Amino acid sequence: AALLLALQVRLVMKAHSFIRENVPRVLSSVNDKSSTVHIPRISQYLYFLFAPTLIYRDNYPRNPTIRWGYVATKFAQVLGSLFYAYYIFVRLCIPQFRNSSQETFDLRGLVLCIFNSILPGVLILFLVFFAFLHCWLNAFAEMLRFADRMFYK
């Protein structure tokens, strides 16, 4: 459910950016009674939907080639991160709560279980952020030849 909600929020933000960039151009050409109205092509919108950016432009800088080795490395890092997060969850989080279902409710025991799970939980959170924000988005950026990834360099 959270993944579906995140995808919907992303689509709403992208639709907002697309409308915000294109409606003023269309309205200005209608107000000027210009014979040409610049409407983006479907291919431009589809590229924008998959590009790792929330700011719509008609054209983005593009790399000349796709480095498939880089893409494979990023997807391998995603898989490695997910397997490592699963390992941490199974080895460090689940054993904390396994015995609590057989015992009577004890607030002290519950608090201890939660505090013992905080560090593994934060590590899992970092791994998921790394897997998605760094690896997954960079892999798709490379496959789309999106060249604006070195913004801060």
Q: Give the chain's mean pLDDT.
A: 87
Q: What is the pLDDT of residue 17?
A: 94
pLDDT of 153 above 60: no
Residue 93 has pLDDT above 90, yes or no: no
pLDDT at 113 over 90: no
- What is the pLDDT confidence band of residue 30, given thresholds at 50, 70 and 90? confident
Contact 150, 55 (CB under 8 A): no
Give yes or no for residue 150 having a pLDDT over 70.
Answer: no
Measured distance CA(94)–CA(18) in Å, rounded: 44
**Cα separations (Å) of 13 from 6, 17, 67, 75, 130?**
11, 6, 29, 26, 22
E-state strands within the chain:
none
